[in-house]
Structure formats: structure tokens, C-alpha cells
Structure 1
Amino acid sequence: MSGFVRPEAMAALRRWREALIGLAVVLAGGFVALAALTVIILGVGLAFAAIGLFLLWGGIQRGRFRQAAIGPGVVTLDEGRVTYMGPLDGGVIDIEDMAVLLLDTRSRPPVWVLRQNFEAPVHIPVNATGADRLFDAFLRLPGIQTGRMVRHLNRSRADLVMIWEREDGVGWPQALN
């Protein structure tokens, strides 16, 4: 079975799997709604179609966020704690204590820069193994705009972009004067 589907096609299916599931739910709900003989079944079909639209929207964002895992290092996510183990550096950061999230597209590959209070920042390549788990971690940040984050990630312009910053300013040095 492994030789049946080309590796490039399997990689594309894996990248967009949530969006494909959402599309299947939309189509199934639409089919049920169109074939409905009663108002109750029509409502069930429309409800499934609406749920499928939410799944499709989230799947498209996840698919755009996900990169090929060919970069250096490994990312793990365990109960809100992101750990990056790279060939030259690494780090651990708790999402609840994070103060700033930056995307540096000036480097190759682009890197996520996670800053926590007064600690050294953690630099994670966007294509590190397991970096797609960061999408779930970033969803825990209050007020983050995932659409903006994905748009900057897929943009070809090289710059340093502030994706998210803690609003209360906890952990930042206060001005002395």
C-alpha cells in the first residue's frame, strides 16, 4: 500500500487533512439537507453543514500554518510547555508566561521567536519537526489573530513581525525615568 500513492501526494493530503475532513462534513450535511423529507432531517443536515464549514475554515488555517518538517530540531508540546531541541540551541517556554511572539522571516528558514519575561528568547524554525503543534499552543494566547499570523507566515517579504504581545506588560522592565 505504501507504493500506491506518491509521497508528494501523501504529504499534501497530510498537510490539508483537517480541511478535507471539513469539506467531507459539509458535503455530507448538504446531501442530507437536500435529500431531506422532513424539517427535522433538513435541520440536522444544515447543522452538519455548518459544523463542516467551521472545520473547513480551521483546517485551511492549519494547512497554511503547517510547513514541511525538514528543518533542524524537534518541537514538543506538553501541557502548555513548548520545548525546542535544536542542533545548536534550544529552550523551554511556558505559553502562559509568554510575553511576546515574533516571526523572523529574515532568516532561512524563518523562525518563531518566543520571549518569556526576562529569559533568553527561544528561536524555533517554522519547519522543525513538530513545529505544526505550535498552532495549538499559540491558540492559548489571549487575543491572538491566527489569520494575521498565517498571512505573515506565508508572505515572501523578509522582516521581523510582531505577531502577539501580552497586553498587561508583565515581565517587561519598567522605565526608571
Structure 2
Amino acid sequence: MIRPEVKTLAWRWREVLFALALIGIGIWWGMAFFGIVAWIGWGLAVVAAGFAVSAAQKVRFRGTSDGPGVVVLDERRVTYLGPEDGGVADLDLMVQLDVTPAPAWRLINRDGHFIDIPTDAKGVEVLFDAFTALPGLNTEHMLSVLHRKKPAQMTVWMAPDHRPYRQLN
């Protein structure tokens, strides 16, 4: 039997573990075989290493618990259905992305309207790929702001032609 906390941890890191297994297989093929199989093995190891880095970033983005509400991403439109509030944000109209002290993601549209999505809401991991597609977003900066010890509102990304919004209520 596997202890429940170990099983939960392994499930959380499953994509990284899979990538590490592919790296191992690739290195084995690269060292144990000759010719085209060896080249395929080394190629597999390199591609899997890139996948492992991306998967580790996604794990760091994903919340550790099921917070309030549900996040759905459909056709570049983010929908948040919360217990007390909710809303919709079009990624094509988004000009600023902040992290609030709650902690929550604040998606701000061009007209100043915003939606706050808790960082531990169910399904929030779909936002990782949507955020990394924003032009000029630094993924490591986003993750470091998300995991800061002292909560404060910080801007993670801003559209190049946009002036920042500060206190929005």
C-alpha cells in the first residue's frame, strides 16, 4: 500500500515523473544502442528534459488545495464561477495581469473591468497555458510573484501599449 500523502504528491508531480522516465529511457537508448536508435534516444532525452522543465513550472503554478470556485477556459475566454462572485474575461482584450494579496489572479480588460480568480480555484491550471501565451510574459517572474511570502498586489504582465491600472474597486 502507498501512503495517501505520497500518492497525492506523486499524482501532483505526475507529468514531471513521466518526463524523468522518458529522459531515463532516452539516455539508456543513447548509451546502450548504436546507430539510429542511439540518436533517437538522445533526442528523446533532450525533448523530455524540455517537457520536464515545462511540467515543473506548471506544478508550481497549480494550487495545492481546492479553493473556492471553478475556472473554465474556452476559446480564449476565461470563465470563473465562484460561490459569491464570478465573471468572464476575454484574453484578447486583456491588458494587465496582477496577483492580489488574497491571493488571486486579477485579469484586467482594456476598459478597466477586471475579474479576480483565486489561485487555488478548481481548474486554475488551465490559466497557465493561457498566461504563457501572453506576449512578453516572463514565466519565472510570474511564478516567483505567485509564491512570495509577503502578499501584496503586483503586476505580473502588462500589454506593451498599456498604462498600468492601480487601485481598482
Q: TM-score, normalised by structure 1?
A: 0.86
Question: How many pairs were matched up?
Answer: 164
Shift of 1:9: 2.5
Q: Which runs of 5+ in 1 are unaligned?
A: 173-177
1:84 is paired with a residue whose SS is: strand
- 1:133 match: 126
Q: Distance in 1 between matches of 2:11 and 2:75?
A: 24
Residue 90 of structure 1 aligns with which residue?
A: 86
Q: Structure 1 residue 48 and structure 2 residue 44: aligned?
A: yes
1:157 matches 2:144: no
Aligned to 2:23: 26
Please point out which of 129, 136, 141 is paired with 1:148.
141
Instruction: Report the more deviating stretch, 129-138 or 161-170.
Output: 161-170
Report which stretch shifted further, 62-71 or 78-87: 62-71
CA distance in 2, matches of 1:95, 1:5: 41
What do residues 55-92 of structure 1 show as CA deviations (whole Å, max 9, x unaligned)? Answer: 11001101111113421111111111100011111110
Contact 1:18 1:58 survives alignment (8 Å): no
* Alpha-carbon separation, structure 2, partners of 1:75 and 1:7: 26
Which residue matches 1:12?
9
Shift of residue 169, structure 1, vs aligned partner = 2.3
- Which secondary structure state, in structure 2, belongs to the residue aligned with residue 48 of structure 1? helix
Q: In structure 2, do the counterparts of structure 1 residues 146 and 20 end up closer, same or farther at CA, with 3 Å as the change threshold?
A: same
How far apart, CA to CA, are the structure 2 residues paired with 1:126 and 1:164?
16
What is residue 175 of structure 1 aligned with on the other side?
none
Q: TM-score, normalised by structure 2?
A: 0.90
Deviation at 1:157, TM superposition (A): 1.9
Identity over the aligned pairs, expressed in percent? 37
User: Counterparts of 1:16 and 1:159 in 2: how far apart (Å)?
Assistant: 28
2:117 aligns with one of 102, 116, 124: 124
User: How well do the aligned residues superpose, as a CA RMSD in angstroms?
Assistant: 1.6
Structure 2: stretches of 5+ with no match in the other structure: none
